[in-house]
C-alpha cells in the first residue's frame, strides 16, 4: 500500500507540472540544421519505437540493426500523442547503458525531397525537447553504418527514470491521447519488433504487467 501511495504522489506531481512547451519552429529548424551539418551521402535513421511501423518519411531501404551501449525504455511522459496533461502516457526513448544493446530497424531516407522529409521527421520527433538527435554506429548484417538516433533527453521535463515495470504498465493502461491509447502504442511496437524477429525484454515485461484487455491484431 505504501508503494502505491508513493507512486500516486509521483504521478500527481507530474500532472501538476505537465505542460510541456513545444520548441519554436525556428529552434526546431536550427536543431535540424546543426544535426545535419557536414553530413553527406545516405541518411539512416534508427527506428526503435513507432518509427518502425509508422515512419515519418519515405523509406528507401530497411535493415535489421543493433545499437550497442543503449537500451529501450518507456522513459518519456506523453501529454499529447498518447496521453493528456491530466492522464499522461509514456513514450519510448533509448538511454545510455554500456552493458546493454538495443535491436531495431535502420531506415534509409529516400534521397528525393530529403530535406522536406527530414523537416517532417523533426516536426514529429523534435516537437519538444524530449530527444537529443545524435549520430551513432549501428551493426547490420550488411555491415556497420552510422545512423541518426533519437536519444532520450535526460534534461527534459518529459524524462522520467526509475519507474518499475508495474508502474509503467499502470500508466500505459490508462492513458489515451491524440493518436490513440498508450497501450496500442506499446502493442503495435511489440508486434512490429516481433515481425522482424526481435524480442525486446524491456517491452515484454511491461506488456506482461498490463491488465487484460484488447490486443492489437
pLDDT band at 20 (very low <50, low <70, confident <90, very high): confident
Q: Which three cell numbers stand for residue 84?
A: 493528456
Q: In CATH, what number does 2-209 get?
A: 3.10.490.10
Catalytic residue among 125, 136, 151, 167: 125
Contact of 177 with 20, CB cutoff 8 Å: no
How many Å apart are CA 79 and CA 127, to the nearest integer? Answer: 12
Beta strands 131-140; 143-152: pairing state: antiparallel
> Does pLDDT of 78 surpass 50?
yes
Q: Tens digit of pLDDT for each residue in 123-144?
A: 999 999 999 999 999 999 999 9
* pLDDT for the residue numbered 91: 98
DSSP 159: B
pLDDT band at 193 (very low <50, low <70, confident <90, very high): very high
How many Å apart are CA 30 and CA 36, to the nearest integer? Answer: 10
Q: Tens digit of pLDDT for each residue in 51-66?
A: 999 999 999 999 999 9
Residue 125 a catalytic site member: yes
What length does the chain have?
217
* pTM reported for the whole predicted model: 0.90
* pLDDT for the residue numbered 124: 95
DSSP 216: P
* pLDDT for the residue numbered 2: 44
Amino acid at each position: 500500500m505504501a508503494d502505491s501511495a508513493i507512486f500516486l504522489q509521483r504521478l500527481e506531481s507530474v500532472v501538476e507540472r505537465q505542460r510541456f512547451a513545444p520548441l519554436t519552429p525556428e529552434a526546431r529548424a536550427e536543431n535540424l540544421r546543426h544535426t545535419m551539418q557536414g553530413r553527406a551521402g545516405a541518411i539512416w535513421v534508427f527506428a526503435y519505437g513507432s518509427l518502425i511501423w509508422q515512419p515519418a518519411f519515405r523509406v528507401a531501404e530497411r535493415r535489421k540493426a543493433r545499437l550497442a551501449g543503449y537500451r529501450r525504455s518507456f522513459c518519456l511522459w506523453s501529454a499529447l500523442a498518447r496521453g493528456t496533461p491530466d492522464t499522461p502516457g509514456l513514450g519510448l526513448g533509448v538511454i545510455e547503458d554500456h552493458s546493454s544493446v538495443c535491436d531495431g530497424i535502420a531506415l534509409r531516407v529516400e534521397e528525393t525531397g530529403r530535406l522536406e522529409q527530414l523537416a517532417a521527421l523533426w516536426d514529429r520527433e523534435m516537437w519538444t525537447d524530449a530527444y537529443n538527435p545524435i549520430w551513432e554506429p549501428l551493426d547490420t548484417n550488411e555491415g556497420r553504418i552510422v545512423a541518426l538516433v533519437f536519444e532520450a533527453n535526460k534534461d527534459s521535463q518529459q524524462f522520467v527514470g526509475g519507474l518499475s515495470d508495474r508502474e509503467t504498465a499502470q500508466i500505459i493502461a490508462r492513458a489515451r491521447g491524440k493518436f490513440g491509447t498508450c497501450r496500442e502504442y506499446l502493442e503495435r511496437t511489440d508486434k512490429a519488433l516481433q515481425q522482424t524477429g526481435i524480442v525486446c525484454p524491456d517491452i515484454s515485461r511491461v506488456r506482461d504487467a498490463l491488465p487484460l484487455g484488447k490486443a492489437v491484431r
